[in-house]
Structure 1
Amino acid sequence: MLRAFLRTAARARSRASRLVPDDDVLLDAPDDRLAPALVAAAHGEHAPVAALLAGTRAHAEWEHRDRYATRLAAFARSRAEWLENWRATAPDDPDARLVGARLTVDRYGDSPDRTALLREVTPAVTAAAQAAGADPVPWRTALDAARGAGAGHAEFERLWAQAVRRSPHHYGCHVAALEYLAAASPGAHRECLDFAERAAQDAPEDALVRALPLRAAFTCLTANGDGGATGVHRSRLDAAADRAIALSAVHPEADPWPAELRNLLAYVLVRLERPRDAAEQLRLTGPYVTSFPWDRDTDDPLGRFLHVRADVRARVASAPGRTGSGHPRSGHGGHVRPGDH
């Protein structure tokens, strides 16, 4: 995957004005900063990883730090030598602790015994977050651990207060809180949308948390056994998608950083039967496919993406005389759904 990324990234940017061929699509491709660190980690070297994360901490790049730590922890699940060496040589390094905590929570979160396992490690994860100073990213990990451990509302709110005190608009911490709310109160779509809309309304125009209503819309649209929620909250779901479209527009085309936003936005737009808007986001994302959200119900997220993309293209091409965004209120909705494949 790394070789493919390094070989095709430059070509892909030049083709941003049209959909890239299926063979050039890249799954979870790292950006230009993360890619060299992953290459080094593949060779057992941790110094470039340490430099990357130290830079994000020094410059308070919390969204990048969160994303990089998550990706590095995922890499360490199959290739952990570099992380083990790093933690052995620098046990008090806050960046090594961050990746180690993320790796532990992710591993335990996939276990059949996740509740018991996460209850055991949550105090240590929380203690590490408390020792991290102004960094909000360890609190995102603590929030995820608390949710998996089945923490009560009072305990979760205590952790949440610590997180937002450090960064009131950190996207990852807000996603963790949204997921806790959805898990604690299944079917509480109105509450999830309320929380997400308030967070987005208070955030700067270019903040990633402006996309939180889109994440809430995804939660609403994919809730098991609650198909009626789409009709009840339809106007709010469309508003969430429209807000995310505006956020997508401020980012360059065919860039890996907004790829997850655009992949999620395309997924939601398809579910909302807005194929023309979905097609535009599929164009803007270029070759960059992210496992989330396409891995929701398949072991082949890339295959799912390609199937949905082909269906969207066919849907738009079958109505060449139509104009408009594909928004159902304009009478141009389609019927393609990611779950149909």
Structure 2
Amino acid sequence: MHHPLVIISLVVLLVRLGLWLNKRRKATGGVDAPAAGLVPRAELVELGSEPTDPVARAALDAAKAGDWRPAAAYLSGGEGDWSTRYARMNPFSELAASDDGWLRQWRAEQPYNPVAAQVLTDALVQRAWEIRTAKYASQVTREQAMGFRQVLAEAAEASQTAIQLAPAEDPNAWVVQQAIAMGQGWSNERYRALWAEIVAREPHHFTAHTAALQYWCEKWLGSNELMHGFADKAIAGAPAGSLMTVLKLRAYWEQVLRDRSSASALYRSAEYTAAVDAALADLAAADPAHPGLVASRGWIAHALIENGRPAQALELFRGMGREIAGPWTYYGNPAAVFDSARRKAARAAA
């Protein structure tokens, strides 16, 4: 027969264990990620930070080792799909921004290669923004501002070379200029001329439209009216599956950033619900190889949660795998806020 004190000790231990498990359950959102079909939080990475394509990874590793040829072959592929070709460039531009030995060798051996010229432009743009940092203008030091302007001027010069080398049908040499336009504060008239060059070559370039929405938002060189007008026009002329509808969701998010008091009413409004439904239909019609697929899933998942339909977002989170995309990438700890949103969707679905 067990001694009463032993039984009491066991009961206390079980109670403490129960309290710890309950606390742990609350801390993790009460959801086991793998059981919900989600990648564990520890494995999450931001969209574009690591190539998911084995060919891209191999080419990036070769570039890190100083061999530019696999990168040249990979970046020149895409069968004329300019949005895809542009999306492929980012990790290589990021590498060149910090280690450009392989790119300098590529340009030395192929000085008239248009893709190499575009990578150089984009690398300089990224280097310029790294110098400036993402801080508000009032928080940027004088030295950072000077360095930013200097390197951005180098990027602008490189972009002219890229344009001269680009085939007539290639919009990407102009697309890469959009970040320069924002950094240098181009006028609306000058930006519209740039935009005309892009859409004349590719009317529904995904990354170009995303960048243009930023230009036209209030925090840069536009307004809520200009931003929404741009999004509405892009959507009106786009075919199903283009994912242009996601621009409207992003426009609403930018609007809320400027006026958080309007968030609750706006996100539950009939017009926002209609925008979410249109984006869902657009996503269903999209090519599985669309370069903006993961990013679009992220923005639509966020929109569904804000619209009071978190359970519908679960499949989108599952489809995103280990990549964090959508507005969560703008937070200081993207993995934490992204994982919290995923768990909310999983709880709602359960």
TM bucket normalised to smaller: 0.7 to 0.9
> Who is 2:4 aligned against?
none
Which sits farther off after the overlay, 168-177 or 27-36? 27-36
- Return the TM-score normalized by structure 1: 0.76
> Who is 1:337 aligned against?
none
Equivalenced residue count is 297
Deviation string 1:245-294 (CA, Å, 9 cap, x unpaired) is 22332458899862222122222333333312222311232x23135532
> Who is 2:337 aligned against?
304
Pick one of 226, 231, 238 that aligns with 2:265.
Answer: 231
Deviation string 1:102-141 (CA, Å, 9 cap, x unpaired) is 1111221231423564356425424522541211112111
> Who is 2:84 aligned against?
64
Q: How does 1:32-181 map to 2 (within 5 A)?
A: 32=53, 33-56=55-78, 59-110=79-130, 111=132, 112-113=144-145, 114-115=148-149, 117-119=151-153, 121-132=155-166, 133-181=168-216
Aligned AA for 2:343? Answer: A
Query: Does structure 2 retain, via aligned residues, the 8 Å contact 1:46–1:82?
Result: yes
Structure 2 stretches lacking a partner, 5+ long: 1-33, 133-143
User: Root-mean-square deviation (CA), in Å?
Assistant: 3.0
What SS class does the counterpart of residue 273 from structure 1 fall into? coil
1:18 to 2:13 alignment: no
> Who is 1:321 aligned against?
none
Q: Displacement, 1:226? A: 4.3
> Who is 1:277 aligned against?
312
| Cα separation, partners in 2 of 1:91 and 1:208, compared to 1, 3 Å | farther
Query: Does structure 2 retain, via aligned residues, the 8 Å contact 1:206–1:247?
Result: yes
What SS class does the counterpart of residue 55 from structure 1 fall into? coil
> Who is 2:247 aligned against?
212
- Percent identical across equivalent pairs? 30
What SS class does the counterpart of residue 77 from structure 1 fall into? helix
Aligned AA for 2:114? Answer: P
**Separation of aligned partners in 2, 1:255 and 1:207:** 8
Aligned AA for 1:308? Answer: A
| Cα separation, partners in 2 of 1:139 and 1:236, compared to 1, 3 Å | farther
Q: Displacement, 1:101? A: 0.5
> Who is 2:346 aligned against?
313
**Separation of aligned partners in 2, 1:246 and 1:256:** 17
User: Structure 1: which 4+ aligned runs deviate by more than 6 Å?
Assistant: 252-257
| Cα separation, partners in 2 of 1:270 and 1:293, compared to 1, 3 Å | same
**Separation of aligned partners in 2, 1:124 and 1:253:** 34
Rg comparison, structure with higher value: 2
Pick one of 30, 37, 57 that aligns with 2:51.
Answer: 30
| Cα separation, partners in 2 of 1:206 and 1:255, compared to 1, 3 Å | closer
**Separation of aligned partners in 2, 1:259 and 1:214:** 15
Aligned AA for 2:347? Answer: A
Aligned AA for 2:85? Answer: R
**Separation of aligned partners in 1, 2:220 and 2:210:** 14
Query: Does structure 2 retain, via aligned residues, the 8 Å contact 1:217–1:268?
Result: no
Which sits farther off after the overlay, 61-70 or 204-213? 204-213
Query: Does structure 1 retain, via aligned residues, the 8 Å contact 2:216–2:230?
Result: no
**Separation of aligned partners in 1, 2:287 and 2:164:** 36
What SS class does the counterpart of residue 295 from structure 1 fall into? helix
